[in-house]
Amino acid sequence: MTATATPTSDATLLETDLLVVGAGPTGLFATYYAGFRGHRVTVVDSLPELGGQVTAMYPEKLILDVAGFPAVKGRDLVSGLVEQAATAEPTYLLDRTASTLEHGDDRVVVGLDDGTRVAAAAVLVTAGIGKFSPRPLPAGDGWLGRGLEFFVPSFEPYAGKDVVIVGGGDSAFDWALHLEPVARSVRLVHRRDAFRAHERTVQQVRDSSVEIITRAEVTALRGEETLASVEVTVDGEPTAYPAQAVVAALGFIADLGPLQQWGIEVHKRHVVVDSAMRTNLPRVFAAGDITDYPGKVRLIAVGFGEAATAVNNATVAIDPTAHVFPGHSSEGS
């Protein structure tokens, strides 16, 4: 999902009420809600497009845990969130990383990697898992773009192909389920008998034509210019299968990057917050998958609620005369 990114120069200092770091679903909803509270909003994200991981990795995935939608495609959810966020008239600073943080008496100054500095009365970190890179497939060295991919942004390129998916998590099973009616054949290879994916999705794949191969690993990819087959080894016995496409859904290596140098409290790569979504740093809040607290559940739906909580509490930091609770958005003025 594209948006107009504000051009800046090295000497630029932008002033805003709320700086949102992360333009995924939680950040986009926070942007809308900050506009509802009457704030000027600036949004920074290291990716060149809005939507975070959903846009980058799962635009065709059906999301089943957003209230009001029995099922909604990732790209459609992001499109609606972008339209909603537009009511806040935000300033988007895309393809840039929030690098440094300095505290003043009544504001926070965040430096970006392009030299831009943003002075904000409050900062809301909604950076998901931070910067992420896919875990490599050991046998896939040299095959990326020649039959090996880590994401499935579109199903069309897999039409009529023999596809091998490697992994046992939600992404692997979601892609297997969606590619099954498109591809000529789909095989899912996992190193264990147990899966991390949601039980309902696992059962749907078991009930489909997808072949599930467990206690196995892909040990070789073969072909000339493009992929033609893969070798799958089970209990030391290799078997060759036709394959013109391999999807390695082995998870991601997450990195909070410069955020860890801010002095923000982190627990196992997540930012620690209280019930008001406050971090240990003054005027710095966090919401969404990046946060950690007792009982935390990492769902998009939870992130939306945390975004509203964070914005309402940040409002008091932005304007000490304001109230945390604004009244309901459905109430008339």
Q: How much is the average pLDDT of 166-174?
A: 91
Identify which of 13, 1, 4, 10 has the alpha carbon closest to the alpha carbon of residue 90: 4
C-alpha torsion sign, points 263, 264, 268, 272: positive
Task: Answer whether residue 5 is part of any domain.
Answer: no
Are residues 111 and 40 part of one domain?
Answer: yes
Are residues 123 and 34 part of one domain?
Answer: yes
Are residues 24 and 104 part of one domain?
Answer: yes
At 267, the pLDDT band (50, 70, 90 cuts) reads: confident
Contact residues for 218 (Cβ-Cβ < 8 A; gap 6+):
137, 139, 140, 164, 166, 189, 230, 231, 232, 233, 246
Task: Answer whether residue 1 is part of any domain.
Answer: no
Cβ neighbourhood burial of 251 (10 Å; 0-12, 13-18, 19+): middle
Task: Answer whether residue 308 is part of any domain.
Answer: yes
* CATH (domain of 154): 3.50.50.60
Q: Could you tell me if 108 and 19 are in contact, meaning their C-beta atoms sit under 8 angstroms apart?
A: yes
Segment among 54-63, 210-219, 278-287, 322-331 with least mean pLDDT: 322-331
Segment among 131-140, 206-215, 293-302 with least mean pLDDT: 131-140
Q: How much is the average pLDDT of 224-248?
A: 95
For the chain, what is the mean pLDDT? 90
Q: How much is the average pLDDT of 116-135?
A: 86
| Sequential DSSP letters for 46-112 | SSSSTTHHHHHH-TTPEE--STT-SSEEHHHHHHHHHHHHGGG-PEEEES--EEEEEE-SS-EEEEE
Contact residues for 193 (Cβ-Cβ < 8 A; gap 6+):
214, 215
Q: What percent of the chain has pLDDT over 90?
A: 71
Are residues 28 and 92 part of one domain?
Answer: yes
Reply yes or no on whether the pLDDT at 5 is more than 90.
no
Are residues 127 and 142 part of one domain?
Answer: no
Q: How much is the average pLDDT of 198-215?
A: 95
Q: Each residue of 21-36: pLDDT tens digit?
A: 999 999 999 999 999 9
Are residues 191 and 148 part of one domain?
Answer: yes
Are residues 85 and 149 part of one domain?
Answer: no
Contact residues for 271 (Cβ-Cβ < 8 A; gap 6+):
125, 256, 259, 264, 265, 279, 286, 290, 291, 292
Reply yes or no on whether the pLDDT at 169 is more than 50.
yes
For 16, what's the count of Cα atoms within 13 Å in the CB-facing half-sphere?
29
Beta bridge partners of 245: 163
Question: How many residues does the structure list for the chain?
Answer: 333
Contact residues for 227 (Cβ-Cβ < 8 A; gap 6+):
143, 146, 147, 148, 221, 243, 244, 245, 246
Reply yes or no on whether the pLDDT at 72 is more than 60.
yes
As a whole number of angstroms, the distance between CA 174 and CA 180 comes to 10
Are residues 262 and 124 part of one domain?
Answer: yes
Task: Answer whether residue 112 is part of any domain.
Answer: yes
Q: What's the pLDDT score for residue 93?
A: 96
Reply yes or no on whether the pLDDT at 81 is more than 90.
yes
As a whole number of angstroms, the distance between CA 293 and CA 252 comes to 22
Segment among 54-68, 69-83, 298-312 with least mean pLDDT: 54-68
As a whole number of angstroms, the distance between CA 120 and CA 104 comes to 10
Reply yes or no on whether the pLDDT at 3 is more than 60.
no
Task: Answer whether residue 323 is part of any domain.
Answer: no
Are residues 113 and 259 part of one domain?
Answer: yes
Are residues 277 and 236 part of one domain?
Answer: no
At 269, the pLDDT band (50, 70, 90 cuts) reads: confident
> Looking at 248, 271, 301, which one is the last position of a domain?
248
Q: How much is the average pLDDT of 208-232?
A: 96
Q: How much is the average pLDDT of 249-257?
A: 77
Are residues 256 and 125 part of one domain?
Answer: yes
Task: Answer whether residue 43 is part of any domain.
Answer: yes
Reply yes or no on whether the pLDDT at 248 is more than 90.
yes
Q: What's the pLDDT score for residue 229?
A: 97
Q: What's the pLDDT score for residue 294?
A: 95
Q: What's the pLDDT score for residue 10?
A: 46
Q: What's the pLDDT score for residue 333?
A: 44
Are residues 299 and 219 part of one domain?
Answer: no
Q: Is 278 helix (H, G, I), strand (E, B) or coil?
A: strand
Contact residues for 209 (Cβ-Cβ < 8 A; gap 6+):
180, 185, 186
Q: What total number of domains does the chain contain? A: 2
Segment among 46-55, 115-124, 163-172, 273-282 with least mean pLDDT: 46-55
Task: Answer whether residue 115 is part of any domain.
Answer: yes
Binding-site annotation, residues for FAD: 26, 45, 53, 58, 98, 132, 289, 330
Q: Which two tokens stand for residue 175?
A: 């892609």
Task: Answer whether residue 327 is part of any domain.
Answer: no
Q: What's the pLDDT score for residue 63?
A: 87
Q: Is 241 helix (H, G, I), strand (E, B) or coil?
A: strand
Q: What's the pLDDT score for residue 6?
A: 52
Binding-site annotation, residues: 26, 45, 53, 58, 98, 132, 289, 330
Residue labelled with tokens 């995935």: 61
> Looking at 248, 276, 306, which one is the last position of a domain?
248
> Looking at 248, 267, 294, which one is the last position of a domain?
248
Q: What's the pLDDT score for residue 171?
A: 85
What residues make up the domain containing 186? 136-248
